[in-house]
């Protein structure tokens, strides 16, 4: 399948990029690593008049540790750089681990952290060619007004399928968004709407430019577990990120001082599991407690038939992975 | 669609080309430069048959616009041989049956080149992780693994690859 016709704009700076977005706001798409946008354009999910190629904006790349102990990551930084960053592996291991599970090594050479945060939501009825979608009937997310997944419904249930956002949510990440009226900085948690179609709060003239991990989230133990059909290349069909810190207790590992659990690919947004901290903080990890955390996470997951595996299985795997991940984060397996 | 004039450096040679803005690198390599070693297969960014190196890093040429590649050194399978003879990895693929039907082989070899440039002495897990970027429908991964081990050994000993 060929790509639809478009013109390519190649800015050298963030200001220039935002200028182009503002000028062509009605009909422009942003190209970072291309691994999400280009296959989608082949399927005519997007047929923009302009494509804004960010590859020349050097200022948007790089992992920059800050003097306060936190770190700032340019949104064009590739997932491969994040996976291999000694600083991130040491201080924010959950992010490095989640980045290392995305797609395949070659795709991680291309895909960016900003692209993973902005990743389009996915559904069996959406990520298909124009011919396929025309044959089976267009849906709410693109060109139609019905939902094949929840017949009779008016809400889109396409699943958010990025691996790094659940890890980033656990780390209390903030992102910087540049637009015509300047830059704003928001918690990543406020970026997602929970809807499958208009899944993110980003105007067509705005750009995610930087990702901030606060010092207060550094040095937590981290674990990411991912369900997929093949061992490589695939998007997650369920994913669980856990960060955990223990109170120091002499020589042995102490009580859990703080913990957060994030899940992905089972809802239209990546979500923090509410109540996880209350359930686990101040306690010593054991199998029963891990089971309870798994049950809590599985209640947060609301998968529908948006991918090749059944909702029941994906929900069950959120429970199983959460149990295993909290045990692993506590050093117990 | 109005074509744009670009310069692409491929296998050490600079080419001036008029390309449509929506042309992917793979099509420009195959159709404009007749470099047909890189293959189009899955068409949805998963199989790796189109893998080339950009500034030494393996990427999928079907998933990038040709005009985004200006100013970068592009290496395709046609640029892998050394002084007219096969590179160690190419010879090892032949010797160890790393290629069966051969369709995926150029992509695999570029992935392996990228791995060895980054890490000349990869562990078994490193090699197997790198191979996970590409798909082979003849299921020849174990022979490829043997070929890669043999090529690394040959490079280290500076001798011809023998089985």
pLDDT in tens, A112-170: 999 999 999 999 999 999 999 999 999 999 999 999 999 998 999 999 999 999 999 99
Q: What is the dihedral of CA B50, B53, B58, B62, to 10 degrees?
A: -30
State residue B136's pLDDT score: 94
**Helix B105-118 with B124-131: angle, nearest 10 deg:** 140
* Share above pLDDT 90 across residues of chain B, in percent, rounded to a whole number: 87
A42 touches B: beta carbon within 8 Å: yes
**Residue range B88-131, pLDDT digits in tens:** 999 999 999 999 999 999 999 999 999 999 999 999 999 999 99
pLDDT 10s digits, A255-312 = 999 999 999 999 999 999 999 999 999 999 999 999 999 999 999 999 999 998 999 9
Residue B160 has pLDDT above 70, yes or no: no
CATH number of B4-79: 3.10.20.30
pLDDT digits (tens, 9 = 90+) for A72-114: 999 999 999 999 999 999 999 999 999 999 999 999 999 999 9
Q: Is residue A299 within 8 angstroms of chain B, CB to CB?
A: no
Chain A residues in contact with B45 (beta carbon < 8 A): 35, 38-39, 107
Q: Which residue among B43, B46, B57 places its CB closest to the CB of A109?
A: B57
Contacts of B128 (CB under 8 A, 6+ apart): B141, B145
3-state secondary structure B45-109: CCCCCCEEEECCEEEEHHHCEHHHHCCCEEECHHHCCECCECCHHHHHHHHCCCCCCCCCHHHHH
* Residue B159: strand, helix, or coil: coil
Best CATH choice for the domain A61-119+159-329 from the list 3.60.15.10, 3.30.390.50, 1.20.140.10, 3.10.20.90:
3.30.390.50
In angstroms, the CA A52 to CA A54 distance is 6
Interface probe for B, chosen from A6, A8, A84, A105 (most Cβ of B below 10 Å), is A105
B81 and A CB contact within 8 Å: no
Percent of chain A with pLDDT over 70: 98
| Cα-to-chain-centroid distance, residue A198 | 15
Q: Which residues of B57-73 are buried (b: 16+ CB within 10 A; e: fewer)?
A: bbbbbbbbbbbbbeebe
Q: In degrees rounded to 5, what are phi and psi of residue A151?
A: -55, 135
Give the CATH fold of the A1-57 domain: 3.30.43
> Is A174 in contact with A71 (CB distance < 8 Å)?
no
Distance, in Å, from the CA atom of B156 to the CA atom of A296, rounded to the nearest integer, reads 54
Tell me: ipTM over 0.85: yes
| Domain covering B88-157, topology | DNA polymerase; domain 1 (1.10.150)
Same fold across A1-57 and A61-119+159-329:
no
Confidence of residue B161 (pLDDT cuts 50, 70, 90): very low
Q: Residue B134 and residue A51: Cβ atoms within 8 Å?
A: no
A70 pLDDT tier (thresholds 50, 70, 90): very high
Residues of B in contact with A101 (CB under 8 A): none
* B112 reaches A (C-beta below 8 A): no
Q: Is the dihedral of CA B60, B61, B67, B70 positive or negative?
A: positive
| Beta-carbon count within 10 A of B8 CB | 23
How far off is chain A from B41, nearest CA to CA, in Å? 11
Q: What is the pLDDT of residue A37?
A: 97
pLDDT tier, A250 (very low <50, low <70, confident <90, very high otherwise): low
The whole-number average pLDDT for the span A236-249 is 92
Query: pLDDT grade, residue B158 (50/70/90)?
Result: confident
pLDDT score of B140? 79
Domain boundaries, chain B: 4-79, 88-157
Q: Assess B21–A contact: CB distance below 8 Å, yes or no.
A: yes
- State the CB neighbour count (10 A cutoff) for residue A122: 22
Angle value at C-alpha A123, between A151 and A137, nearest 5 degrees? 55
For residue B74, give every residue at least 6 positions away whose Cβ sits within 8 Å of its Cβ, in sequence order, or none. B8, B9, B10, B11, B25, B29, B52, B53, B54
Q: Which residues of B touch A105 (CB under 8 A)?
A: 58, 111, 129-130, 132-133
**Mean pLDDT rounded to a whole number for chain B:** 93
Mark yes or no for CB contact B67/A10 under 8 Å: yes
Domain ranges for chain A, please list them.
1-57, 61-119+159-329
The interface residues of chain B toward chain A in range 117-136, judged by CB-CB distance below 8 A, are 129-130, 132-135
Collapsing DSSP states into helix, strand and coil, what is residue A155?
Answer: coil
Question: Which residues, including other chains, have CB under 8 Å from residue A59's CB and lie 6 or more apart?
Answer: A13, A14, A74
Q: Give the integer Cα–Cα distance in Å for A13 and A58.
A: 8
């Amino acid at each position: 399948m060929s790509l639809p016709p478009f013109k390519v704009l190649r800015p050298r700076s963030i200001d220039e990029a935002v200028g182009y977005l503002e000028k062509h706001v009605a009909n422009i798409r942003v190209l970072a690593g291309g691994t999400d946008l280009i296959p989608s354009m082949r399927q005519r999910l997007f047929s923009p008049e302009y494509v804004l190629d960010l590859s020349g904006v050097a200022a948007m790349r790089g992992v920059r540790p800050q003097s306060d102990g936190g770190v700032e990551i340019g949104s064009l930084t590739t997932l491969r750089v994040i996976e291999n960053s000694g600083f991130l592996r040491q201080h924010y291991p959950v992010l490095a681990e989640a980045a290392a599970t995305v797609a395949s090594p070659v795709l991680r050479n291309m895909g960016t952290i900003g692209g993973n945060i902005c990743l389009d939501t996915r559904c069996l009825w959406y990520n298909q060619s124009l011919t396929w979608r025309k044959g089976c009937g267009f849906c709410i997310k693109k060109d139609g007004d019905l939902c094949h997944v929840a017949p009779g419904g008016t809400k889109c249930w396409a699943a958010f399928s990025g691996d790094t956002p659940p890890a980033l949510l656990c780390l209390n990440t903030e992102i910087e968004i540049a637009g015509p009226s300047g830059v704003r900085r928001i918690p990543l948690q406020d970026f997602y709407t929970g809807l499958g179609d208009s899944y993110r709060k980003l105007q067509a003239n705005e750009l995610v430019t930087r990702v901030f991990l606060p010092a207060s989230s550094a040095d937590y133990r981290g674990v990411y577990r991912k369900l997929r059909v093949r061992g490589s290349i695939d998007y997650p069909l369920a994913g669980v990120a856990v960060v955990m810190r223990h109170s120091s207790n002499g020589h042995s590992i102490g009580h859990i001082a703080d913990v957060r659990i994030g899940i992905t690919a089972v809802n239209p947004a990546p979500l923090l599991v509410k109540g996880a901290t209350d359930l686990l903080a101040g306690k010593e990890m054991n199998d029963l407690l891990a089971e309870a955390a798994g049950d809590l996470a599985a209640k947060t997951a609301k998968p529908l038939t948006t991918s090749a595996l059944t909702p029941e299985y994906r929900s069950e795997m959120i429970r199983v992975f959460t149990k295993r991940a909290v045990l692993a984060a506590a050093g117990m397996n | 669609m109005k074509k744009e004039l670009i310069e692409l450096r491929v296998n050490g040679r600079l080419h001036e080309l008029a390309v449509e803005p929506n042309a992917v690198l793979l099509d420009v390599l195959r159709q404009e430069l007749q470099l047909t070693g890189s293959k189009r297969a899955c068409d949805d960014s998963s199989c790796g048959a189109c893998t080339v190196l950009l500034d030494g890093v393996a990427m999928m040429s079907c998933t990038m616009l040709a005009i985004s590649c200006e100013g970068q050194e592009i290496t395709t399978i046609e640029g892998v041989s050394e002084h007219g003879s096969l590179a160690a990895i190419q010879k090892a693929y032949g010797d160890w049956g790393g290629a069966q039907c051969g369709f995926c082989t150029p992509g695999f070899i570029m992935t392996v080149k990228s791995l060895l440039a980054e890490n000349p002495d990869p562990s078994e897990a490193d090699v197997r992780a790198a191979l996970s970027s590409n798909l082979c429908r003849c299921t020849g991964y174990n022979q490829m693994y043997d070929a890669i081990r043999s090529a690394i050994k040959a490079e280290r000993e500076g001798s011809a690859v023998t089985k």
